[in-house]
Structure 1
């Protein structure tokens, strides 16, 4: 088994050591932990350095015969996730946090509500994250069309905006069951809330 095969996500390392994901990311960025990136841009930390840390902290090292050190939840949660946001920086931030929450997920993006509707019909994502204020078709209109005219519906939908829902009241209301989080995000808070929200929705649907 090669070192590249045996690796850890930053989230897995943080959870095992009881520290923040951001701390692990800093260790990677400063070269204290060796890491590489998948084709999707996700960090994978080489096992050798991580497992030395585990031993120093008195933690057991996973069985070497396991094909991956990714936690079982991550392996079983190979979700498809669509991010709809016209701001490229916000799309990148969301994609990074989503990858930390669910390392096994596949993530796609669209730049407005119209393109988002096309992407939903094409890929039938498990999870949809959408901004609310976008050109051409905003998030409110996209969600309304998904609710009334689309046979394919995500299993969990999260709306995001830099405005409060009260500020956006003139644009309309969110459909029932759509969660909301306000930008800017505190990464650790977002990752935890997003992970819990998705898992609760899937569990309620018998997934």
Structure 2
């Protein structure tokens, strides 16, 4: 059945329609931005009306009260490029707790992350060095050198300690780096600083 005559979509279908990761759509449902319910078989269904309402809101700006409190200026976007579901969930939790007005989008690999970054033009990019499908140093260098991403601030997260990061030193020069064991302590402050910097530069 064509998408334009259907009343509901699966989470995967909404992710494809909106150009997002499935996890991002799930978080939108959790935040109440999309209306969803589960079938007797346990499959999540998302209403077409709420998807269209969200799309319209993105085109024209919020036409109704936002479902979350806004602690920073509207439409601030953060893109996380990270293949670990555990760290995707952890970063999502930190953003909700410390920056509740920020839109967090998630990409599972470097290639999808580059495509999504080009589409979203995020204020801040959080990138893991070790990603499937692309060399982390190559990805970071591309993000830093491409004019399309010139306004985006970059934060790198990694499980590599200082010695393990040595081969990537040329790409990481001048970029904030968070060792994953310190994510909870360090990432919220770095994100706030990065967002403030993009506001000042606007």
Out of 85, 88, 100, the residue aligned to residue 97 of structure 2 is 100
Deviates more, 1:92-101 or 1:187-196: 187-196
State the aligned residue count.
145
TM-score by length of 1: 0.58
Verify the 8 A CA contact 1:83 1:95 in the aligned structure 2: no
Pick closer, same or farther for the CA change 1:117–1:193 going to 2, 3 Å. closer
Equivalent of residue 164 in structure 1, options 157, 161, 164: 161
Residue matched to 1:41: 30
Scaled by the length of structure 2, the TM-score of the pair is 0.60
User: 1:187 maps to what in 2?
Assistant: 184
Sort the Cα spacing of 1:73 and 1:177 in 2 relative to 1 into closer, same or farther, 3 A: farther
Contact conserved, 2:70 with 2:102, CA < 8 A, in 1? Answer: no
Unaligned 5+ runs, structure 1: 1-37, 44-66
Give RMSD over aligned pairs.
Answer: 2.9
Query: 1:135 and 2:132 equivalent?
Result: yes
Deviation at 1:186, TM superposition (A): 5.2
In structure 2, what is the equivalent of residue 122 of structure 1?
119
3-state DSSP of counterpart to 2:86: helix
- Which of structures 1 and 2 has the bigger CA Rg? 1
Work out the CA distance in 2 between the residues paired with 1:188 and 1:143: 23
Give 1:132 shift.
0.6
Higher helix share: 2
- Report if aligned partners of 2:70, 2:101 keep a CA contact under 8 Å in 1: no
Unaligned runs of 5+ in 2: 1-26, 33-64
Partner Cα separation in structure 1 for residue 85 and residue 157 of structure 2: 14
Q: Distance in 2 between matches of 1:81 and 1:141?
A: 20
Q: 1:197: how far off?
A: 3.7
Distance 1:189 1:149 in 2: 27
